[in-house]
């Protein structure tokens, strides 16, 4: 299980993380985490954001503290533009905006929630557009405007359309379209390089996404 390097220079490494690879060691998995894999290959690295273990796609990594701080400020100021692809249960409207604060459940110890959030609430906004639908599912492009934990998963679940094969927010729904992992892919990211140049980096759709796309058009 290895990531694909999409871009590298003296300041940045941009990877296409495979589904199933954790970003940081968690003591539960015996294979290398992404940061350990990168450290072995490049030396010390600085992760500035993360995606879930089952999510595939683009991830930015800084190679020095100056680049780390430069990128962290862009994320903090919501200047980084991220695009995801996802498959969700049911048929979503053609376009939509989900503007719901996210908190925790079960006294602050459980999963995230936008339906009945508990404790500290954080504002969260997600835009989406439906690409296609069929076979009880929708293929959507998602544009998170904030970066809350599990934001896309929580927001789509809150409107009755959780992501396919989401074992946390769609526990009672059977997997569809051949997915045996969370149907979420970080497709692209637009940001400013420490040199001042705007960059757009995209990760190819993984095979399970390509197969699911085809199944909706049959």
Q: Quick: pLDDT tens for 86-113.
A: 999 999 999 999 999 887 765 544 455 4
Q: Tokens 């969700």 map to which residue?
A: 88
What does the pLDDT look like over 146-192, one tens digit per residue?
A: 988 899 999 999 999 999 999 999 988 999 999 999 999 999 999 99
Distance CA 140, CA 183 (A): 11
Active site residues: 52
Task: Tell me, rounded to whole angstroms, the distance of Cα 192 from its chain centroid.
Answer: 20
Distance CA 6, CA 2 (A): 13
């Amino acid at each position: 299980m290895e990531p694909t390097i999409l871009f590298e220079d003296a300041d940045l490494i941009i990877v296409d993380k495979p589904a199933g690879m954790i970003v940081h060691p968690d003591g539960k998995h015996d294979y290398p985490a992404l940061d350990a894999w990168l450290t072995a290959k490049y030396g010390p690295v600085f992760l500035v954001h993360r995606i879930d273990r089952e999510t595939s796609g683009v991830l930015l990594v800084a190679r020095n503290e100056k680049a780390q701080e430069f990128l962290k400020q862009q994320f903090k100021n919501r200047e980084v533009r991220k695009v995801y692809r996802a498959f969700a249960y049911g048929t979503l409207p053609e376009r939509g905006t989900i503007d719901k604060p996210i908190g925790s459940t079960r006294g602050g110890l459980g999963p995230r929630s936008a339906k009945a959030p508990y404790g500290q609430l954080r504002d969260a906004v997600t835009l989406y557009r439906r690409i296609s639908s069929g076979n009880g599912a929708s293929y959507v492009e998602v544009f998170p405007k904030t970066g809350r934990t599990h934001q896309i998963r929580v927001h789509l679940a809150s409107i009755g359309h959780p992501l396919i094969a989401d074992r946390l927010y769609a526990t009672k729904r059977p997997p569809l379209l051949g997915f045996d992992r969370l149907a979420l892919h970080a497709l692209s990211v637009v940001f400013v390089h420490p040199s001042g140049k705007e960059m757009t980096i995209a990760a190819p759709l993984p095979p399970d996404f390509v197969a699911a796309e085809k199944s909706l058009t049959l």
